[in-house]
Amino acid sequence: MSVLPILLWPDPRLSQPCAPVQEGDDLRDLIADMFDTMYDAPGRGLAGPQVGVLKRIFVMDAGWKDGTPTPRACINPHILSRAQTQATGAEGCLSVPGVEARVARSTDVTLGYTDENGAEQRVALSGAEARVALHELDHLDGRMHFDHLSAAERDGLLSDYEAARG
């Protein structure tokens, strides 16, 4: 397959909510390309809008960097339940290289989605997997990780990012 170009902030497509994937859409090549792109970047998740596809699809593999690959392609994902317990952790984003934000997220979620074979899935995710899934879901809703910060924190991060980009 191939590595796709990753859109960088402030590309306006990163701020747009995505449309649901329609039944019958053939996504096999896109999914393979998204995995290739994510691993090449190297990231733990990649959402459709990050590669210019404004559809509700993301790929993730929270464990591959630690030697425990858990690749998952999620089509039309949605949260079925989420823990009240939250943890704050550092998050980077392939569309905003070099910008790390400390974001509070639920520690456990139950994710519903359709897999690449068209089967409905329901999976309990915790820790890094929950964080990655929630981060990618934000992308599908037109949100970035820094949107969870105060205006002052967000402006500071984006100012540093813009200065680094030249």
User: Where do the structural domains in the chain lie, given as residue ranges?
Assistant: 12-165
Residue 142's SS3 state is coil
Q: Contact at 8 Å (CB) between 96 and 75? A: no
The active-site residue, picked from 91, 120, 129, 136, is 136
Tokens of 30: 């896109």
- Average pLDDT of the residues in 18-29: 92
Residue-level pLDDT at 165: 84
Kindly report, residue by residue over 81-131, the tens digit of the pLDDT.
Answer: 999 999 999 999 999 998 899 999 999 999 999 999 999 999 999 999 999
Q: How far apart are CA 146 and CA 91, in angstroms?
A: 9
The structure's pTM equals 0.96
Burial of 67 (C-beta count, 10 Å sphere; 0-12/13-18/19+): exposed
Question: Could you name the CATH architecture of 12-165?
Answer: Alpha-Beta Complex (3.90)
- What's at 50, amino acid-wise? Q
CB atoms within 10 A of CB 57: 29
136 has catalytic annotation: yes
